[in-house]
Amino acid sequence: MNFVGSIYKKMNSKHKIFLIILLCCFIGSVIFVFNNHSFYDQPIGKVVKTTIEDVTKVNDINGNEDAVYTQHIIAELLNGEEKGKEIHLTNEYSESKAYDHEFEIGNELFIKIDQQVEEGAELTGTIQEVKRDKYLMMIAWVFIFVLLIVGKRQGLFSFISLVFNAVLLSYALDIYIHNSSQSLLWICGISVILFTVISLLLANGLNEKTYAAIIATLLGTFISLLITYLVLLVTGEKGLRYEEMQFITRPYRMVFMAGLFLGSLGAVMDVAITMSSSIFGLYEKNNNISVKALIKSGMEIGKDIMGTMTNILFFAYVSGSIPTLILYFKNAAPFGYTLSLTLSLELARALAGGIGIVLTIPIGLYTTLFFVNRKRARR
Amino acid sequence: MNVLVVLAGILFLLMTLIGGRKGVRSFFALFFNFAVIIITVILMNDPNVDPVILTLIACVLISCINLFYINGVNSKTKTAFLSTIICIVILLLFIIFITNKAMIQGFGEEEIGEIGAFSLLVEVDFIKIAVSVIIMSTIGAITDTAIAVSSPMREIHYHHPNISRKDLFLSGLSIGRDILGTSTNTLFFAFFGGYLALLIWFKDLSYSVGEIVNSKIFSSEMITIFCAGIGVTLVIPITTWITAYFFVRNKETKEKIT
Which of A105, A117, A34, A24 lies closest to A72 in space, CA to CA? A105
Chain A touched by B31 (CB under 8 Å): no
**pTM summary value:** 0.91
End-to-end CA distance of chain A: 54
**CA-to-CA distance for A239 and B76, rounded, in angstroms?**
40
User: Residue A315 is nearest to which of B45, B136, B216, comparing CB atoms?
Assistant: B136
SS3 B13: helix
* B61 in reach of chain A (CB within 8 A): no
Closest-CA distance, B257 to chain A, in angstroms, reads 34
Within 8 A of A354 by CB-CB distance, chain B residues are 11, 15, 30
**Chain B interface includes A168 (CB < 8 A):** no
Judge: A307–B115 Cβ closer than 8 Å, yes or no.
no
- Write the CA distances from B160 to A230, A281, B166, integer angstroms: 50, 17, 13
Find the residue in A nearest to B8 (Cα): A351
Contact yes or no for A299 and B18 at CB 8 A: yes
How close A250 gets to chain B, by Cα (Å)?
8
Q: What's the domain range around B180?
A: 76-109+121-257
Please give the Cα distance from A106 to A48 (Å, whole number).
6
Cα A202 from Cα A157, distance rounded (Å) = 6
DSSP codes joined into one string, A237-254? TTT--GGG--S--S-HHH
Yes or no: say if B195 and A321 are a contact pair by the CB < 8 Å rule: no
- Contacts (Cβ under 8 Å, ≥6 apart) of B148: A305, A308, B175, B179, B183
Give the pairing type, strands A86-94 and A44-59: unpaired
With beta carbons under 8 A apart, name residues in chain B contacting A361.
Answer: 18
Q: What does the pLDDT look like over A21-46, one tens digit per residue?
A: 999 999 999 999 888 888 888 889 99
Q: Which residues of B touch A273 (CB under 8 A)?
A: 182
Chain A residues with beta carbon closer than 8 angstroms to that of B45 = 326, 329-330
Evaluated on CA atoms B39, B40, B43, B46, the torsion sign reads: negative
Helices (H) and strands (E) in chain A, counts: 9, 5
* Interatomic CA distance for residues A364 and A295, integer angstroms: 11
CA–CA separation, A368 and A362 (whole Å): 10
| Cβ count near A183 (within 10 Å) | 14
Give the phi and the psi of residue A49 in degrees, each rounded to 5.
-155, 135
Q: Is B122 in Cβ contact with A66 (below 8 Å)?
A: yes
User: How high is the mean pLDDT in each 10-residue block of chain B (258 residues)?
Assistant: 90 94 93 95 91 95 93 91 95 92 85 76 89 93 92 86 88 88 89 87 87 90 93 95 85 54
**Averaged pLDDT, A76-86:** 87
3-state secondary structure of A358: helix
- Is B197 a domain residue? yes
CA angle (B164, B168, B171) in 5-degree steps: 140
Chain A residues in contact with B222 (beta carbon < 8 A): 136, 139-140
Classify residue B199: in a domain, yes or no. Answer: yes
pLDDT digits (tens, 9 = 90+) for A143-193: 999 999 998 888 998 899 999 999 999 998 888 888 766 677 788 888 999
Query: Is the domain defined by A183-378 classed in CATH 1.20.1640?
Result: yes
Percent of chain A surpassing pLDDT 70:
97
Q: Which of B106, B199, B233 sits opposite A146 (nearest CB)?
A: B233
Cβ contacts of A327 on chain B, cutoff 8 Å: 107, 115, 118, 120, 122
Q: What is the ipTM for the molecules in this complex?
A: 0.92
What is the predicted pLDDT for the residue at A1? 52
The residues with which A94 forms a beta bridge, in sequence order, are A68
Task: Write down the domain spans for chain A.
Answer: 2-35, 42-131, 183-378
Q: Tell me which residue in A169, A199, A246 faces B185 most closely, judged by beta carbons.
A: A199
Taking CA atoms, A256 is separated from A241, B110, B194, in Å, by 11, 18, 9
Give the separation between CA B28 and CA B36, rounded to whole angstroms. 12
Distance, CA of A358 to CA of A54 (rounded, Å): 58
Residue B129 to residue A170, Cβ atoms within 8 A: no
**Residue A188 to residue A169: CA distance in whole angstroms:** 9
Beta carbons of A262 and A188 less than 8 angstroms apart: yes
User: Which has more confidence, B256 or A253?
Assistant: A253
Residue B1 lies in a domain: no
User: Across-strand partners of A54?
Assistant: A70
Per cent of chain A over pLDDT 90 is 38
Residue A217: which of A195, A232, A202, A187 has the closest Cα?
A: A195
8 A C-beta contact, residue B6 and residue A240: no
Kindly report the backbone phi and psi dihedral angles of residue A74, in degrees, each rounded to the nearest multiple of 5, phi listed first.
Answer: -110, 125
- Tell me which chain A residues have a C-beta less than 8 angstroms from the C-beta of B199: 169-170, 173
Q: Is B40 part of a structural domain of the chain? A: no
Task: State which amino acid sits at residue B50.
Answer: D
Model pLDDT for residues A185-206, shown as the tens digit of each residue: 788 888 999 999 999 998 888 8
pLDDT at B110: 78
Residues 121-150, chain B, touching A (beta carbon < 8 A): 121-127, 129-130, 132-134, 136-141, 143-144, 147-148
Chain B interface disruption, residue of A68, A270, A286, A363, most B CBs within 10 A: A270
In B, residues 176-235, which contact A (CB 8 Å cutoff)?
176-201, 203-205, 210, 213-216, 219, 222-224, 226-230, 233-234
Which residues does residue A87 pair with via DSSP β-bridges, in sequence order?
A75, A123
| Rounded Cα distance, B228 and B133, in Å | 11
The helix/strand count (H/E) of chain B reads as 10, 0
What residues in B contact A270, CB-CB < 8 Å? Answer: 182-183, 185-186
Is residue B139 in some structural domain? yes
* Secondary structure of residue A10 in the 3-state scheme: helix
A residues 317..376 contacting B (CB < 8 A): 317-320, 322-331, 339, 344, 346-355, 358-359, 361-362
List of chain B residues whose C-beta atoms are within 8 Å of the C-beta of residue A235: 1-3, 6
Output the DSSP codes for A187-214: HHHHHHHHHHHHHHHHHH-SSHHHHHHH
The pLDDT of residue A325 is: 92
Half-sphere exposure in the Cβ direction for B233 (13 Å, CA): 25
> Measured between CB atoms, which of A162, A307, A350 is closest to B66?
A307
| Top-ranked range on mean pLDDT: pick from A63-77, A245-259, B81-95, B168-182 | B81-95
Alpha carbons within 13 A on the beta-carbon side of A247: 22
User: Is B184 part of any domain?
Assistant: yes
DSSP string, B69-132: IHH-SSHHHHHHHHHHHHHHHHHHHHHHHHHHHHT--S--GGGHHHHTTS----SS-HHHHHHH
Least CA distance to A158: which residue of chain B?
B181
Residue B52 within any structural domain of the chain: no
Give how far Cα B17 sits from Cα of A38, A187, B12, B24, Å. Answer: 61, 34, 9, 9
Number of domains into which chain B is organized: 1
Summarize the confidence of residues A356-370 as an average pLDDT.
95
The alpha carbon of residue A148 and the mean position of all alpha carbons in its chain are separated, in whole angstroms, by 19
The CA distance from B23 to A46, in Å, is 56
- Residue spans of beta strands (DSSP E) within chain A: 44-59, 65-77, 86-94, 108-113, 123-130
Distance CA A64, CA A86 (A): 38
Q: How far apart are CA B220 and CA B228, in angstroms?
A: 12
Q: Is the pLDDT of residue A3 over 80?
A: no
User: Would you say residue B152 lies in a domain?
Assistant: yes
Give every CB contact of residue A191 below 8 A, 6+ residues apart in sequence. Answer: A168, A169, A172
CA distance B253 to chain A (A): 30
User: Which residue in the set A133, A157, A235 is minimally distant from B2, CB to CB?
Assistant: A235
